[in-house]
Amino acid sequence: MISLGVNIVTDFVESGNGPEFGYRLDVDPDLYEDLGANRYPYNSGAQYPSFSSTVAIEGACISDPDYACGGSGVIISSRWILTAAHVVEVLVLDETYVAIGSDYENAEAWFTAEAFYIHPSWEGGDEELHLGFDIALIGLSDHISGVYPSSWANHDGIDDSLLDATIFISGFGLYSDYEESYCDSACLDDGGEYYTQRRAWANTLDRILELPAKDDGNDLMELRGGHLVYDFDSPNGNNNALTSGNLGFNIFTEQDYSYAGKGDSSPNPQPLEGTSVPGDSGGPIFAKIESKWTVIGITSHGSVISDYGDVSFNTRVSVHAEWICSISSSYKPISGCNQS
């Protein structure tokens, strides 16, 4: 089955800006797979985070239970997966599963979803994506063992100083060559019917956004949105979308990124520079905070084309820490929350 979680603002066919799709064409694509699996020389430690907590989410689609929907997520506690709201809102709860391992077709273990918790300010649809509430939790029926949960940005402001930091992102993007695929000549093959590998990539954090509170009548907390934003720089440095003075619109992908705010961006790509593609939605963004790799964002949206110049918007976790911890309980605690 195909995991169909997407990261979209626009839904246009490839417009000729290039065959690239989420990864540098001058780099062996297998290296992104090696990074996602933490294979040598990308072992987890001081230089690279462990991506073992990045999971594939798959389930029956509400719109058509005979078809598979899903995306990516990250383990933040033994029974909790953090992901994007737009991933879980289309899933049938009783038929949703989380796969552990770097290849979800040959998963090390599958876990059953017990509950979905979607941020109360998320109302669904592409028109809501710019507000920064694309975040959700999946509660599992059993404890995950053998995989350490990732630390996450569990209080407001913990990530304030990370502008221009090197970040690592991972997910189970759709690189399979099938009729409706977006990857075109950049599709990948792992020997199975569909490409099902966990991949990871690097980038530079170009924007840290905290959005105004949303007036929706919820008195539980001050509900503010937030984004972490990065662009996909080309090897020659000519596609630096977020550089100061750009108009905030990609003419090739017809992507509006004006809500990324003001700032600048380095044109120099990371050695394993990349961006998210459909299927990566809900996957984690890691940055180092006080020497510890920490989940600071969740992949939300960008362009399905994922060409050089694509701008990736990712839900900022720290501004939603209070909401995340409001779901925690003594019965099913979330690591990083102070239990009452």
The arithmetic mean of pLDDT across residues 257-277, rounded, is 95
C-beta separation of 47 from 56 below 8 A = no
The residues with which 69 forms a beta bridge, in sequence order, are: 59
Residue 214: what pLDDT? 63
Report the amino acid identity of residue 151.
Answer: S
Question: What gap in Å lies between CA 84 and CA 142, rounded to an integer?
Answer: 21
Per-residue pLDDT at 98 exceeds 60: yes
Residue 127: what pLDDT? 81
Residue 306: what pLDDT? 94
Please list, in sequence order, all residues whose beta carbon lies within 8 angstroms of the beta carbon of residue 70, skipping any fewer than 6 positions away: 3, 4, 5, 56, 57, 58, 59, 87, 91, 96, 279
Residue 215: what pLDDT? 61
Residue 218: what pLDDT? 54
Residue 18: what pLDDT? 61
Per-residue pLDDT at 15 exceeds 90: no
- Dihedral (CA of 271, 272, 277, 281) sign: negative
As a whole-number percent, the residues of the chain with pLDDT over 70 amount to: 91
Residue 247: what pLDDT? 78
The arithmetic mean of pLDDT across residues 4-25, rounded, is 58
- Identify the band that residue 339 occupies on the pLDDT scale cut at 50, 70 and 90: low
Residue 9: what pLDDT? 37
Per-residue pLDDT at 287 exceeds 60: yes
**Mean pLDDT, the chain, integer:** 90
Chain segment 174-228, per-residue pLDDT in tens: 999 988 899 999 999 999 999 999 999 999 999 999 887 766 555 545 678 999 9
Buried b (16+ CB within 10 A) or exposed e, 210-221: bbeebeeeeeee
Chain segment 225-253, per-residue pLDDT in tens: 999 999 999 999 988 999 998 878 877 66
Residue 180: what pLDDT? 83
C-beta separation of 310 from 231 below 8 A = yes
Q: pTM of the entire structure?
A: 0.93
Per-residue pLDDT at 12 exceeds 80: no
Per-residue pLDDT at 2 exceeds 90: no
Give the Å distances, CA to CA, from 184 to 16, 17, 34, 75, 268: 11, 12, 22, 31, 26
Report the amino acid identity of residue 103.
Answer: D
The arithmetic mean of pLDDT across residues 301-310, rounded, is 92
The arithmetic mean of pLDDT across residues 130-153, rounded, is 96
Residue-range domains of the chain with CATH: 30-327 (2.40.10.120)
Residue 211: what pLDDT? 83
